[in-house]
Structure 1
Amino acid sequence: MLPPSHIDGARLLAWAWSDLPFGHVASEAGAAPIAIHGLALCQYAGAPGVYRFSCDAQWEAVQDEVYASADEARQQLPAQYRAVAATWHRAGCSN
């Protein structure tokens, strides 16, 4: 599934999608864990860092982490998101 051009108000730089979840994030109040299908590298206007958003199947950000660069964000993917190998795409590209 293709991502939107902006996630949580930040401009999309690169993305990865998997029909099988990359992993899961614990939800609040004891609800079932949330499956992470999308990973997005984004940048807010005027901000120095790059955010890696962990997204559900509708590209809604569930978790985020800030990094110094897009390369760092890709390389430091947490173990919880390694159930499926991420194939990264530049924004505006489907392959």
Structure 2
Amino acid sequence: MTPPPHIDGARILAWAWSDLPFGHVTNEHGGAPAAIHGLAVCRYADEARVYRFSCDAQWETVQDDVYASEDDAREQLPAQYRAVTATWNLA
């Protein structure tokens, strides 16, 4: 599933999608774990750093993390997102 051009106001630079979840994230309120189907490396217009957004099946952000470079954001996936290999697409 192709993502929108922006997530949470940040422009997508690269993205990966899987019909099977990359992994799951539990929320801070102790709710049921959310399946992560989309990964997006994004940049806000006024920032040099990039963010990796972990998204549900509707490209809604479940979790994010900040990185110094696009390569770091793509390569440093946490263990919980390795159930399926991420194939990155450039936006």
- Please report the TM-score for the alignment, with normalisation by the length of structure 2: 0.96
The amino acid that maps onto 1:43 is: R
Task: Please state if 1:26 is matched with 2:21.
Answer: no
Which string of whole-angstrom CA distances, capped at 9 and with x for unpartnered residues, describes residues 10-48 of structure 1?
Answer: 000000000000000002433210000000000000101
Task: State the partner residue of 1:43.
Answer: 43
Q: CA deviation at 1:75?
A: 1.2
Q: Would you say how many aligned residue pairs link Structure 1 and Structure 2?
A: 91
* CA root-mean-square deviation: 0.8
Task: State the partner residue of 1:61.
Answer: 61
Task: State the partner residue of 2:90.
Answer: 90
- Please report the TM-score for the alignment, with normalisation by the length of structure 1: 0.93
Which string of whole-angstrom CA distances, capped at 9 and with x for unpartnered residues, describes residues 41-68 of structure 1?
Answer: 0000010101000000000011000101
> Which 5+ residue runs of structure 2 have no aligned equivalent?
none
Tell me which stretches of 4 or more aligned residues in structure 1 moved more than 6 Å: none
Partner Cα separation in structure 1 for residue 29 and residue 9 of structure 2:
27
Partner Cα separation in structure 2 for residue 57 and residue 32 of structure 1:
15
What SS class does the counterpart of residue 29 from structure 1 fall into?
coil
